[in-house]
Structure 1
Amino acid sequence: MDTAVADRVLARVDRDALVDLASRGYQVELQEVEPDRLQAIATLPGAGGGPRLMFNGHTDINSLARGWTRDPFTPWVEGDRLYGHGVQNMKGGLATMIQAAEAIRQAGVRLRGDLVLACVVGETQGGEGTHHLLERGHRTDMAVLTEPYGLGHLVTLHGGILHLAIHTYGVTGHISQIEKTVSAVLKMTDVVQALQQVRFTFRPHAELPALPRLNVGSIIGGRGERYVLVEPPYVPDLCTIIVDVHFLPGQTVEGIVLDLRRRLDALRDADPTLRYEIEIPPPAFFKGRRRLVMEPVDVPRDSPIVQAVARHHQAVTGRPPAVIGALLPMSYSAGDSSWLWKAGIPCLHYGPAGGFLETGPGGSYILISEMEACAKVLALTALDVCGIAA
């Protein structure tokens, strides 16, 4: 790489810049993922002949935690910390990737390949936004996701996520004739206990030793398909739990369901009054549910994009990456890389952090110094991967 060009780009990394991409030569597309739910895809067009690179970040944020001592929707700076709701996961990463692209543009450098900035929605619903943009042709040769895992952590390995509903069915009736009823809630208590004894079929992974794992995240029971809750004299005939399964590379949804059925069928053999059903995805009644299955990610560490980020991380920070592979406990979960990797796009998570997904009392913050350093690494990576036009 031409070091003079690289220096010119790095000098343009401005932590205070506010950018309007549409007016600065980017091709901007607003995609309607759902009615009135938009995401922005901005492309810095290349001259042609080079690989296409995507920087990907999600605009949806975690729910607001308690304990804020100031207005969480008015950001403020204390030393190296930028505070505000959602700044860490992951408004800071979004700003960082935009700043990297702006540094290249403002330096007057023309890339050979396109640089795509994907500001997507729906990461917490299973990567709906990234899935949507891929379905509409926004495919690149490589990608970097600026999740807040902290500089020095090149995360190439993640488990998968499956959300499913399990329903139990009963026979309703008044408490005065309870002997003629079957309580769906009581049957579900047996199901929940049985789920703790499920033996999954899998091949262990040394970097993800605690997977697979299962959590019963919520439960509701009542009468009828709307779970009527205001009739306590009546026995509930429907109960539903939402189950979160985090699983390993090599496991499949079909295999996981078979493992669950094996245990629940054994329970039903011992109790013929048990009637259950597994539903994937959970029904629309449960808003905010993860509607898409996120497959595991295991990108080879010698992939060109991984090596490029590692190389430029060391150039900017003076230190080699602390992690290339899994970062625990974050790698026990998943992100938008699931869809990129499934589409055949080598990718990794590399982004600025404050306190590893901190959402507790005092508020969420991100380190400004990490944002600045990350923007420089991303800019150099884009120059390297996309190539510089003559």
Structure 2
Amino acid sequence: MQKDKRYDQLLDRIENDRDELVELCLKLGNTPSYHAKERNVGDLVVEWFKASGIAASLQFITDESVNAVATVPGSGDGTSLILNAHMDTGPEPGPDATEADKKIDTAWTEGELIFGRGVINDKAQLCAFMIAARAIKRAGIRLRGDLTITAVAFETGAPSIDKDQGVNYPGEGFGTKWVVDRGVTADYALVGETSGFGIVRAECGAVWLKVRVKGREVYTPRLERGSSIQENPNAFAKAAHAILALEEWAVQYQKKEKLEFEGGAIVPKAQIMNVRGNDEISQASPFCDIYMDIRLVPGRKPEAVKKDVERVVRGLGFDYEISAFQYSRGHIAQNAGPLIAAIEEAHRYVFETEPPLPPSAEVSMWRDLNVFNEVGIPSICYGPPRQRDPYSGAGNRAMKISDLVAATKVYALTALLVCGVSDR
């Protein structure tokens, strides 16, 4: 990509906005936006866009859960692009949250790093989109195609199961589905998430299973364990064996299902997420429910994986039931060549190197590009890498500010390359 004075001026403008980018990240990062409670951040996003001379509005899912949508209109003769990032940050910390848990739920800087669960996933990328869009407008660059920024709810939404039912438990990607279903579409969609500056062209699907291991309610003094675990009436004792068997299956599953393609290596993993009984402490539960999150390579049928799990549990000789309570399809982006080429060119312009392959974990999860790809809008993901932190259990809730600034520059140039620049 040859040096272009207009591009360089745009990148200089973004570099000069570095402090404001950080301030915006801290403002949004310190405004709570848990599952189904994104309204306050949505209001801030719309207010910021309007103050920047960019039309924006809220889409209401519920009174407290919203998407924010802003548009930089083009001249009408170019390719349209959506820049998508999510506002929700996961579940609200519970009463047993540690001081470290509470701290990582906020946002702050230390030297060259910015910290925070909600900043890294995903408000930093949202702020980068906001600064990039404003820089394009302030630079007086008229795009040919429309540029739409969607700040969405419920990307990390919890699924409906047991007592947790209804619109506040829709599963992953509900906010972006809501956006698209209400007519916000484009020729391409770029999802901003951490990717190690690699171009994520595919993501896993997921199936969530509930495995109910059955036993009997027995008064402790009358408990007779029998001569085998199959004869033991205690559902939790049986479930302990099931958990070990399912963990062994999960280890082999990710090895067997690994899929290598031109965009990297997809390694679909599985794990047990929770174990529950009947919530009665004074009575032995007659059942033990095991909840599993199983990732699926694109094209893998959930029924086949459910049968695999059923074979494992059946082999233990227990009475059981297995049901699926959430399914989301994974996709490899199709017809995304022009978008990929634009990001590659923008990355080369900013870094003077080729973009690396993304880390395996980044192409083995579920993200909102699956929603766009499912409805025929070619979509990929691109963003800065995570850095280690000493505060969170995940240990990766930090980001270099310089990386975020660089990502903002790539996003802005990508918009120009995809949408085109009007001479009118």
Q: State yes or no: 1:121 paired with 2:153.
A: yes
Residue by residue over 1:179-231, the C-alpha shift from the partner in whole angstroms, topping out at 9 and shown as x without a partner, is 5993332332343244245476976523576744321121112xxxxx23321
SS at match of 2:149: strand
Could you tell me whether the CA contact under 8 Å between 1:170 and 1:238 is conserved in 2? yes
**Structure 1 partner of 2:196:** 150
Query: In structure 1, which of residues 12, 16, 19 is the aligned counterpart of residue 19 of structure 2?
Result: 16
1:177 is displaced (CA, Å) by: 4.1
Could you tell me whether the CA contact under 8 Å between 1:26 and 1:43 is conserved in 2? yes
1:209 and 1:382 map into 2 onto residues whose CA distance is: 28
Q: TM-score, normalised by structure 2?
A: 0.75
SS at match of 1:245: strand
Query: In structure 1, which of residues 248, 270, 278 is the aligned counterpart of residue 323 of structure 2?
Result: 278
Instruction: Determine which structure has greater relative contact order: mean sequence separation of CA pairs < 8 Å that are 6+ residues apart, divided by chain length.
Output: 1
SS at match of 1:47: coil
Q: State yes or no: 1:132 paired with 2:184.
A: no
1:182 and 1:377 map into 2 onto residues whose CA distance is: 60
**Structure 1 partner of 2:373:** 341
- 1:280-319 to structure 2, matched below 5 A, reads 280-281=325-326, 293-299=327-333, 303-319=337-353
1:204 and 1:74 map into 2 onto residues whose CA distance is: 36
Distance 1:109 1:42, change over 3 A: same
1:337 is displaced (CA, Å) by: 1.5
2:210 and 2:123 map into 1 onto residues whose CA distance is: 32
1:76 is displaced (CA, Å) by: 4.3
2:214 partner amino acid: Y
Residue by residue over 1:301-344, the C-alpha shift from the partner in whole angstroms, topping out at 9 and shown as x without a partner, is 97111111011100111111122xx5223323221122122122
* Unaligned 5+ runs, structure 2: 25-46, 158-171, 226-231
Distance 1:84 1:196, change over 3 A: closer
Query: In structure 1, which of residues 191, 202, 213 is the aligned counterpart of residue 269 of structure 2?
Result: 213
Could you tell me whether the CA contact under 8 Å between 1:88 and 1:353 is conserved in 2? no
Moved more, 195-204 or 206-215: 195-204
Could you tell me whether the CA contact under 8 Å between 2:74 and 2:145 is conserved in 1? yes
1:75 and 1:144 map into 2 onto residues whose CA distance is: 25
Q: TM-score, normalised by structure 1?
A: 0.81
1:342 and 1:262 map into 2 onto residues whose CA distance is: 31
Q: State yes or no: 1:264 paired with 2:313.
A: yes
Distance 1:203 1:346, change over 3 A: same
SS at match of 1:307: helix
SS at match of 2:199: strand
Moved more, 128-137 or 18-27: 18-27
Moved more, 207-216 or 304-313: 207-216
* Unaligned 5+ runs, structure 1: 222-226, 282-292
| RMSD of Structure 2 on Structure 1 (CA) | 3.3
Distance 1:296 1:85, change over 3 A: closer
1:77 and 1:98 map into 2 onto residues whose CA distance is: 20
1:251 is displaced (CA, Å) by: 0.7
**Structure 2 partner of 1:38:** 66
Distance 1:67 1:210, change over 3 A: farther
**Structure 1 partner of 2:216:** 171
1:141 is displaced (CA, Å) by: 1.4
Could you tell me whether the CA contact under 8 Å between 2:295 and 2:364 is conserved in 1? yes
1:102 is displaced (CA, Å) by: 0.7
Could you tell me whether the CA contact under 8 Å between 1:68 and 1:363 is conserved in 2? no
Query: In structure 2, which of residues 79, 87, 98 is the aligned counterpart of residue 59 of structure 1?
Result: 87
Distance 1:43 1:356, change over 3 A: farther
SS at match of 1:103: helix
1:122 is displaced (CA, Å) by: 1.7
1:299 and 1:115 map into 2 onto residues whose CA distance is: 20
